[in-house]
């Protein structure tokens, strides 16, 4: 069983919709939780991070962590065509070694 499982998608939503992305994990030692965004043919880039249970907002993006359920989510409000990308969750229990989800590809239709 993988340490990090991510909803595989793909997701296709109309512009303006709310996008919900989810990951579950099995390693209770994970302390830091990140979301990376990867555009087609590009490397991933850090989008958001959290290190405690609860919600964190950054503009149209909200990251949610529930450590008791080992579950993290990313919500994108008022989605735009420019949000079309693959979103990767990532978690860290030790230095230098992140565990990544397989990614969810999102397409926002204009």
Partner 1 sequence: NAGVTQTPKFQVLKTGQSMTLQCAQDMNHNSMYWYRQDPGMGLRLIYYSASEGTTDKGEVPNGYNVSRLNKREFSLRLESAAPSQTSVYFCASSSGASSYNSPLHFGNGTRLTVT
What span, in angstroms and rounded, lies between the C-alpha atoms of 92 and 65?
A: 14
Nearest-approach distance from CB 75 to partner 1, in angstroms: 19
Place of tokens 């065509």: 81
Question: What values do phi and psi take at 27, rounded to 5?
Answer: -90, 110
Q: Closer to partner 1 by CB, 17 or 62: give it.
A: 62
Nearest-approach distance from CB 88 to partner 1, in angstroms: 7
- Least Cα distance to 85 among 103, 73, 98, 100 occurs for 103
Q: Closer to partner 1 by CB, 88 or 108: give it.
A: 88
- Give the footprint of partner 1 on this chain (CB under 8 A): 2, 4, 6, 8, 32-34, 36, 41-46, 49-51, 88, 90, 92, 95-98, 100-103
Q: Closer to partner 1 by CB, 58 or 78: give it.
A: 58
Nearest-approach distance from CB 110 to partner 1, in angstroms: 26
Q: CA gyration radius for the chain?
A: 13
What span, in angstroms and rounded, lies between the C-alpha atoms of 44 and 30?
A: 20
Nearest-approach distance from CB 7 to partner 1, in angstroms: 13
């Amino acid at each position: 069983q993988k340490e990090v499982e991510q909803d595989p998608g793909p997701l296709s939503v109309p512009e303006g919709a709310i996008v919900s992305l989810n990951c579950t994990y099995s390693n209770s030692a994970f302390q830091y939780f990140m979301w990376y965004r990867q555009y087609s043919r590009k490397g991933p880039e850090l989008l958001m991070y959290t290190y405690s249970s609860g919600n964190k907002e950054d503009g149209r993006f909200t990251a949610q962590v529930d450590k008791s359920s080992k579950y993290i989510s990313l919500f994108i409000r008022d989605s735009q065509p420019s949000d079309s990308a693959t979103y990767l969750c990532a978690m860290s229990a030790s230095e230098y070694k992140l565990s990544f989800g397989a990614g969810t590809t999102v397409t926002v239709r204009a």
